[in-house]
């Protein structure tokens, strides 16, 4: 009875847990993390393309075509469920000959996200056991030989699964999503904001909203508060991801905003006529690259200290450290969206932190929360509604921190694409302090 926690890994995993995780893994470089999520690495010889309207828009638009009704098979209610968790732990690299390969008790950056996510999954399994859930949870280290997503599918290792949770990168998603569709098994993509060209898949759900969704919602927030007559759009096209973000922001609003192209930094004299020192100057800045975005904010603050600015940016801005300095940008309020906010002062967060210290030690990062809540919530949906719980995902009361809003996404031709979490918070930073509200 209860939750059985199993690992499809080599025996030395236990040495790895004791000698590595219990030391407390440091947090991954945040800028690098968002680069990986949004794919901001660029090929040196690739040509830069201007902002264009994306081919597909997974959002609801008025049209002549009628959307089809989503039809799922009957749910299977079981006395015990199997949940498979796919997570990159890099065990073969980090532990060799029964010894850890890294020095100074510092886990390599590439392994931190997976380890933290695993810690959250493990803590969630303890919670589910205490609640009397009946589940078998299998952990697959997808970096090990024979356990890549492609190999797991080919080996039939996931055939008996009732739910697949994946902490996968975009290139690994399609294989599992296709398998999930074919076998009518729900697949939760827990950390990637990429849809990986998945279409017409009733069983694929993204918890990390796409970049397009962030651009839509930050634009809506700015227009709702300030109207759309006096908003400036500051963008660039000589960076691939920033160019795409600009295209998303301009969708259906090409003529709404006064546009400032910042491929090359303009002179102060070229900008001063655009700003008014007697009122707030509102700017939407779809720039994902943190360093570049930070340099623009610094420039505007330095050039126009007597002006007040409200700047709406991207979710990656959460990792701009200067926003948390009280002396930085006193005349600028910065807004950005994020699907997650974990208030460490709540009793639930404090309980989780206490359990984490006892079991793993070290500092608890965001990925611990992410792993914890995705397993807790989806195990609850399985337990209450069976294997096909999809029409019941509005029941989010068992999600301990984030009240997920899972919504179907459609392209412009009204063809169904996948399910996506649309729950977003908006952060507002000024003079080192911040407030968070749900959108």
The CA distance from 306 to 331, in Å, is 7
Q: What is the mean pLDDT of each run of 10 residues along the chain (439 residues)?
A: 58 38 40 40 42 50 72 96 96 76 76 94 96 96 95 96 97 97 98 96 98 96 87 95 95 82 94 94 96 96 96 96 94 97 95 95 92 98 98 95 96 95 97 94
Query: What does pTM read for this prediction?
Result: 0.85
The CA distance from 28 to 137, in Å, is 26
Give the neighbor-by-neighbor strand order of the sheet with 433-438: 258-261, 231-235, 280-284, 308-312, 332-338, 425-430, 433-438
What pLDDT was estimated at residue 218? 96
What pLDDT was estimated at residue 100? 72
What pLDDT was estimated at residue 283? 97
What pLDDT was estimated at residue 25? 41
List pLDDT tens digits, range 20-39. Answer: 433 344 344 444 433 344 44
The CA distance from 211 to 57, in Å, is 11
What pLDDT was estimated at residue 40? 36
The CA distance from 301 to 281, in Å, is 12
Any long-range contacts for 265-268 (C-beta under 8 Å, 24+ apart)? 265/299, 268/303
What pLDDT was estimated at residue 108? 83
3-class state of residue 333 by DSSP: strand
- Tell me the helix, strand and coil percentages in the chain, rounded to 5: 35, 20, 45
The CA distance from 118 to 108, in Å, is 15
What pLDDT was estimated at residue 191? 96
Give every CB contact of residue 267 below 8 A, 6+ residues apart in sequence.
none
The CA distance from 266 to 252, in Å, is 27
Cα 408 → chain centroid: 17
Give the neighbor-by-neighbor strand order of the sheet with 3-8: 3-8, 135-141, 81-87, 163-166, 186-189, 204-206, 416-421, 406-410
Closest-CA residue to 285 (of 273, 276, 274, 297): 297
> Cβ(215)–Cβ(336) under 8 Å?
no
> Cβ(67)–Cβ(266) under 8 Å?
no
What pLDDT was estimated at residue 118? 96
Instruction: Please give the sequence-ordered ranges of beta strands (E in DSSP) within 130-277, or none if there are none.
Output: 135-141, 163-166, 186-189, 204-206, 231-235, 258-261
The CA distance from 396 to 398, in Å, is 5
């Amino acid at each position: 009875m209860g939750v059985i926690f199993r690992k499809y890994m080599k025996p030395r995993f236990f040495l790895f847990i004791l000698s590595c995780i219990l030391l407390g893994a440091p947090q991954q470089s945040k800028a690098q993390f968002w680069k990986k999520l949004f794919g901001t690495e660029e090929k040196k010889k690739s040509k830069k393309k201007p902002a264009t309207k994306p081919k597909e828009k997974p959002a609801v638009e008025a049209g002549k075509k009628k959307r089809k009704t989503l039809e799922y098979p009957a749910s299977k209610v079981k006395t015990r469920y199997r949940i498979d968790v796919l997570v990159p732990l890099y065990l073969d690299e980090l532990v060799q000959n029964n010894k850890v390969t890294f020095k100074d008790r510092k886990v390599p950056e590439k392994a931190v996200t997976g380890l933290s996510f695993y810690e959250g999954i493990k803590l969630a399994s303890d919670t589910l056991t205490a609640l009397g859930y009946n589940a078998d949870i299998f952990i697959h280290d997808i970096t090990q030989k024979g356990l890549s997503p492609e190999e797991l599918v080919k080996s039939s290792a996931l055939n008996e699964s009732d739910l697949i949770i994946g902490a996968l990168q975009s290139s690994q998603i399609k294989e599992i999503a296709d398998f999930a569709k074919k076998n009518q098994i729900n697949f939760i993509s827990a950390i990637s904001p990429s849809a990986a060209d998945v279409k017409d898949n009733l069983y694929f759900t993204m918890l990390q909203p796409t970049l397009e969704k962030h651009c839509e919602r930050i634009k809506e927030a700015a227009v709702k508060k300030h109207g759309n007559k006096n908003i400036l759009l500051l963008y660039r096209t000589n960076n691939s991801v920033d160019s795409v973000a600009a295209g998303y922001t301009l969708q259906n609003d090409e003529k709404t905003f006064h546009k400032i192209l910042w491929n090359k930094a303009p002179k102060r004299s070229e900008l001063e006529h655009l700003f008014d020192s007697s009122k707030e100057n509102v700017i939407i800045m779809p720039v994902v690259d943190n360093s570049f975005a930070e340099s623009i904010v610094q420039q505007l603050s330095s050039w126009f200290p007597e002006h007040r600015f409200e700047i709406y940016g991207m979710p990656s801005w959460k990792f701009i450290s200067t926003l948390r300095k009280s002396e930085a940008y006193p005349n600028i309020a910065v807004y950005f969206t994020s699907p997650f906010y974990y208030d460490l002062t709540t009793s639930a967060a404090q309980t989780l932190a206490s359990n984490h210290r006892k079991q793993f030690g070290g500092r608890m990062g965001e990925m611990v929360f992410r792993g914890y809540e995705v397993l807790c919530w989806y195990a609850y949906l399985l337990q209450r509604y069976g294997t096909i719980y999809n029409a019941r995902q509005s029941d989010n009361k068992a999600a301990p921190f984030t009240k997920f809003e899972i919504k179907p996404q459609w392209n412009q031709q009204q063809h169904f694409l996948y399910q996506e979490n649309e729950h977003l918070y908006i952060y507002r930073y000024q003079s080192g302090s911040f407030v968070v509200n749900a959108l």
